[in-house]
A and B are shown apart, each in its own frame.
Chain A
Amino acid sequence: MARYLLYFTAEDHYVYASSGARLQLEAQFPGDDAGVVQFRDYLRRRKGALFGVVADLAGEDFQEEQIPLLRGSDREAVVQRRLAQRYRDTRLAAALSLGQVTTAQRKNERLLLASFTSTQQFVPWLDALEEAGARLAGVYSVPLLAPALAASLGVHRGRALLVTVNRAGLRQSFVEDGRLRFARLERTADMQPPALAAFIRSETLRLVQYLVSLRALPREGASLPVMVIAPRGERAVFEQTLVPDGRAAFRTVDAAEAFAAVRLRQAPEGTAAEALYLHLAARKPPKAQFASSGERRRYFIWQLQRALVTAGALGFAACTLFAATRAYEAHDFRTRASELAREARDSAERYQRITASFPVTETTTENLRVAVLEFRRLAEASAQPDPAFIHASRVLERFPQVELDAIQWSLGRPGEPRSAEARTPASSVPRSEQAVQIELSGQVNATQRNDYRAITAQVQAFATALATNGYQLVRTQLPFDVTSEGTLTGDIGGRDSSEAPRFTIIVARSLP
């Protein structure tokens, strides 16, 4: 968006349009009432345009003052009071901070109060801008822009005098540590370059003398650096005249070089060094300016509008940037996933090709596996009674006096003895889940019934013989209860009973 600058001189006023690195002269108006009328007419076609005013007038007052070091609204109140004390009309007055100073009593702030000796000349022009709904960015004077120009030319620290030849006249701005201290404008008639250089020299030496008298410069000391911007192609002529001496160390800069320093590529024909100030007012406007906040309200609202849209755009850009990185990562993931899926498919296809050469089955591989595995598990948990019967038979051959009545084979989980009247404590039960158990019931023949000791010994010997070959004795029920917990009965000398004493033996063998 182009910014319009009203260059305000004592005679004529000019409107420039600044766009990027270009400055274009839009219109020229005489400084009288007719000029105001023309200006109003001009503004009709530029309703709501962005305007700045750059005044280049001789009647600009500068006064250094000190106020207590304050902040916020207190400072603002003190500054406004000082301005009101100094100037009759404070509509276009500014206070530029020159930094802190510590006195014996307190800390103070140095201020440079600045205004125009006659603000009335601005009024119709500012009113015209207000009526046209223009957004006034600020009212600047060329001296207020001088520190920025000096900085662009490499003067950041120390004292320096910046001298330019403007359309309004010879402008001299005294800058100290990047801050404006004093400025003056001296009218110049049409002069040839050598005469202009001589005029600059004499005016500069006069100003230096004046600054010394104001104690703005030390009476004794190094010469003051003076930077003179010579018109295009006149640098050599200027340098011949502007030779350094004990009071002023002249340095001449060609206007083309200065234009490049402030990045101004194109300026209208006939424009002097004021183009530099105008470009800076458009591109790097200083905070200090003369317009009140009321006059700048539209500009503030415009700034707010721009800030809102810019914040939205920045937010959108940041989100888009993050989204782009996420999208890029997602793309990477998808690529990786498709590679992995392809590898998985390849493996599956190879698997299918290889399994196609497997023996033909009547069922699926999975069902084949579970059917056989489960059947094996079932078969392993089963047993046939043959080995147990054969084992019992072989043991029985060694005990002819033992006669079996019954034999019971069973398969199940090994457990506690089934009978509560277990006489012999059960030995350790096999740990495996399934066990074969044999329960043998019988009697002992060829031994006197009342020979408890012999019968017990024979039954125990028989049980011990059974508890071999992997079998373990689970329970032995003797014909006589010889434990302390039982009841022992006898019939000594009585008639022999025909019934032989009976026993029960249980052995078990866990399945492998």
Chain B
Amino acid sequence: MTFTPEELRKLILPLFAALLLIGAGIFLLSSAREARARAQAEVLAAQGERKQNADRLARIAEEERDVTEKLDVYKQLKRLNILGEERRLEWADAVARIRNQRELLDLTYRVDRQKLLKSVPGKPGTVDFFASTMNVQLDLLHEEDLLRFLRDLRDSGNAYYAVKSCSMRRTGQAATGVTITPRLRAGCEIDLVTVVDHGAKR
């Protein structure tokens, strides 16, 4: 079938109207589809949030118990100054005090520079665990002196003392009778651990 130019002119407007109507319909449909997809996503997000909140609410009694229990530990860490910045002067004081109190013959130590042990993500800030390694050398009259030294160090606080290694060996020096001669020589490597809570209230 062929159309004359005049007939084609007559058909152009209806054709344009038809295309316009169909285009408008498609636009409406796609808009409605998008709106539906957005609304569906909102439902999924709201469902997830509601479930999370409901679960959290269901666990609240357990959480309260948990918080109370952990708070005791946290306070203890705070009281022992394990929680907070390093206190190197207090460590030096403690070592000197123990040496004097226990009348240890010779005691040398070296504390290396602090290094990050672990950084745990928290909310709102991280909880960082730092360690400074202390190498200590002691002259001993008796094996028990080493254990007493370590116990006293633990009790002095200001860090958590994680002993990595300890060795004892005979000095082989014969007793002179004039001066006190150490029978044993001990060496220990100890990590002085401190915790910095970046989410704590200042």
Contact = CB atoms under 8 A, between A and B. Distances in A.
Interface of A: 297, 301, 304-306, 308-309, 311-313, 315-320, 322-324, 326-327, 329-334, 336-338, 340-341, 343-344, 347-348, 350-351, 354-355, 358-359, 361-376, 378-379, 382-386, 389, 393, 404-412
A364 B123 contact: yes
Given A315-B18, A323-B29, A408 B71 contact: no
A352 B15 CA distance: 63
Interface string B93-133: 00000000000000000000000011011111101010000
Nearest to A371: B127
B54 A311 contact: no
B54 A316 contact: no
A361 B74 contact: yes
Given A362-B200, A369-B70, A379 B29 contact: no
A406 B168 contact: yes
A405 B63 CA distance: 53
A111 to B, nearest CB: 25
B123 A367 contact: yes
A371 B197 contact: yes
Contacts of A320: 25, 28-29
Interface of B: 3, 7, 10-11, 13-15, 17-22, 24-26, 28-29, 31-33, 35-36, 38-40, 42-43, 45-47, 49-50, 52-54, 56-57, 60, 63-64, 66-68, 70-71, 73-74, 77-78, 82-83, 117-118, 120-125, 127, 129, 143, 146-147, 150-151, 154, 160, 162-170, 193, 195, 197-201
A383 B163 contact: yes
B56 A347 contact: yes
B160 A375 contact: yes
Contacts of B14: 304-306, 308-309, 312
15 contacts: A301-B3, A304-B11, A304-B14, A315-B22, A323-B25, A326-B36, A332-B39, A341-B49, A354-B60, A366-B123, A367-B124, A371-B77, A384-B150, A408-B167, A409-B167
B27 to A, nearest CB: 8
Nearest to B167: A408
B132 to A, nearest CB: 14
A306 B18 CA distance: 10
